Structure 1
C-alpha cells in the first residue's frame, strides 16, 4: 500500500510526522506493506515555523493510480498554507483521489482544502474548532455538514479538528488500509 502525503507550504511538521512515524512503525516492526511518499509543488517546501523539508516528488509527477491514500497535514495561514492548499492543481488531485474511492486523511485545517475542492459538499466533516469556530464556519461555507468532534469519517474521508488528533488520524488511516487488529498492535507498540 502506498500513501501520498501532500505538503502544502506552511504545513505543520507535527501533523506531517505522524504519517511517517505510524506507517514506519507498522512497516519496520510488523512488516506491513505501507509505503509513504511525500509530495509538494516543488522539491523543497517550507513548513510552519520555517523548517525546510525535501519532498520525494512534485505534484506534476503524480499518478493517482499508484497510491491507495492521500494524507494532508494542516498548516498556518501566516506561513502561506492556503496559497497552496487552495491551488486548483491540488483541488484536482483531491477530486481524483475521491473519484476513485481512495482514502483521504486530513488533519485540522487541511479539511478546508477538501472543502475548497468540493469533495465534502453535502458530507460530514470537521476542522479546527478553536478561535470562536472561525475555521468550522469557513468549512460550512463549502457546503459541508460540520460537526464538532475530534475525528470524523465520512465514507473514504477522514477529517479532524486540531493538532492533538494527528496521531489518531494516522492510526485511523492505517486501520482503513489494514485492519483494526493490525493497527492495535502498532498502537500498543507505540504506547497508545
Structure 2
C-alpha cells in the first residue's frame, strides 16, 4: 500500500488540507487500491486559517521518509502564521529528502513556497498563488521558472495557482500513486462521475 504524508503548518487553509484527506480517504473505503494518509505537524496543535484547531497524528521529527511515497503541502494564510512553519528548516530538509529520492511532492497555492525555498525547484517550472505578484516574484527570485498556468507538473513536483485547483491536485495524487482506474472509482463514489447526485425536482404546482 502506498503512503502519503500530509503536512499541516500553522495557519493552514482547512479546505486545502481536506481535499487530500477526502480523496485519499475514499481510496480506503471505495477505491480499488487504498492509499494510506498520515498527518504531520511542527507543533502538537495547529491553529488553521479560519480558526479550526487540529492535532496532527505525529510530529515532523518522527517521520521516516523511507516509509512514505508522497509529501503533500496545502497552503495557508500568512496572517495566521503559515510561514512560521512553512519556512522552518526542518520542513525544508524534509522536502529535500523527498525530492532526492524523486518521490511525489504536491502542493496547493502558497504551499509551493516552502518547496521553492528548499531549493528543489531551482531551474525547474512551478507556480504559486496567482493573485499575489509578491509571492510569484519571491518564487522567481528562488530560481523557479514561474508559469502563468493554473497547475504545473515538473517531473515529481506538482504546484498550482490557487485553492481552486486543490481538488484537481488531490485527484492527480491519487492517480500518480495508484491508477487511473482507482481515481475513476473514487470519483464515481464521490459524485464526480458526471451524473447528477440530486433527484429530479418536481414542478411546482398551484393549489
Normalising to structure 1: TM-score of the pair? 0.96
- Does 1:3 find its partner at 2:4? yes
- Would you say the 8 A contact 2:30–2:185 is kept in 1? no
Post-superposition, which runs of at least 4 consecutive aligned residues in structure 1 deviate over 4 A?
A: none
Q: CA deviation at 1:189?
A: 2.5
Q: CA deviation at 1:31?
A: 4.3
CA distance, structure 2, for counterparts of residue 160 and residue 11 of structure 1? 16
Paired residues for 1:51-66 under 5 Å: 51-66=52-67
Q: CA deviation at 1:107?
A: 0.3
CA distance, structure 1, for counterparts of residue 186 and residue 148 of structure 2? 28
Q: Aligned to 1:109, what secondary structure does the other structure show?
A: helix
Matched residue, 1:183: 183
- Does 1:129 find its partner at 2:123? no
Q: What is the Cα-based RMSD across aligned positions, in Å? A: 1.0
Bigger mean CA offset, 133-142 vs 72-81: 133-142
Unmatched 5+ stretches in structure 1: none
Matched residue, 1:90: 91
CA distance, structure 2, for counterparts of residue 18 and residue 9 of structure 1? 18
Matched residue, 2:198: none
- Does 1:70 find its partner at 2:71? yes
Counting matched residue pairs gives 191
Matched residue, 1:24: 25
Normalising to structure 2: TM-score of the pair? 0.89
Unmatched 5+ stretches in structure 2: 193-207
Q: CA deviation at 1:179?
A: 1.5
CA distance, structure 1, for counterparts of residue 149 and residue 180 of structure 2? 21
Matched residue, 1:147: 147
Structure number, greater radius of gyration: 2
Q: Say which structure is richer in helix.
A: 1
Matched residue, 2:42: 41
